[in-house]
């Protein structure tokens, strides 16, 4: 997504380097960073980078569709061979998702402090995450595959009982 936005939307063709904040091997004065997860929250208040962009928001601004960063998938042959196990795992994922979606207060209370963000900012962030794959999300995945010129195909397994 970042490469598409920089190249096709903003006309920028930077050199990309891969670093890890956890490993502490960043250059002393990087021009720009793509930061995800907890590290993104930690850098939000940094004055070193005055411009901050949410990639999902940039995608939405262009196409009025939510960006899908991840999906859980099972290969068709795995589903055929281990149907019971795949469905059991699927149910566990859905249960975990539901618990998380109903635990924003607890999550923000515990992790907000660690990340240096207020409980209200934490709740706002969590409430804007979507853990459901619907028509708009599929349309967005199709659109992404078109703009980056990659094949896209989706076949749905039966819903987890």
> Which residue pairs from 77-84 have beta carbons closer than 8 angstroms and sit at least 24 positions apart in sequence?
79/157
* Single pTM value for the model: 0.84
DSSP state of 31: S
Indicate the pLDDT class of residue 52, thresholds 50, 70 and 90: confident
pLDDT tens digit string along 95-117? 999 999 999 999 999 888 888 88
- The confidence score (pLDDT) of residue 121 equals 87
pLDDT of residue 3: 94
pLDDT classification of 158: cutoffs 50, 70, 90: low
3-state helix, strand, coil in the chain (%, to 5): 50, 0, 50
**Per-residue pLDDT, 148:** 95
pLDDT digits (tens, 9 = 90+) for 119-149: 888 899 899 899 998 999 999 999 999 999 9
| pLDDT score for 160 | 72
pLDDT per position as a tens digit, 66-75: 999 998 888 8
Phi then psi for residue 13, to 5 deg, are: -125, 75
What is the mean pLDDT of the segment spanning 66-87? 91
Compute the chain's Rg from CA coordinates. Answer: 19
């Amino acid at each position: 997504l970042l490469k598409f936005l920089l190249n096709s939307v903003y006309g920028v063709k930077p050199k990309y380097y891969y670093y890890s904040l956890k490993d502490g091997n960043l250059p002393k004065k990087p021009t720009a960073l793509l930061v995800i997860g907890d590290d993104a929250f930690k850098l939000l208040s940094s004055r070193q980078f005055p411009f901050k962009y949410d990639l999902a928001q940039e995608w939405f601004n262009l196409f009025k569709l939510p960006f899908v960063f991840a999906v859980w998938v099972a290969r068709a042959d795995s589903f055929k061979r281990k149907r019971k196990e795949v469905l059991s795992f699927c149910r566990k994922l859905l249960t975990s998702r539901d618990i998380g979606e109903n635990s924003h207060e607890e999550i923000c209370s515990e992790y907000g402090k660690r990340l240096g963000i207020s409980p209200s900012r934490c709740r706002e962030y969590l409430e804007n995450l979507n853990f459901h794959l619907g028509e708009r999300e599929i349309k967005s995945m199709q659109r992404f595959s078109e703009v980056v010129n990659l094949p896209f195909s989706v076949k749905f397994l039966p819903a987890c009982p």
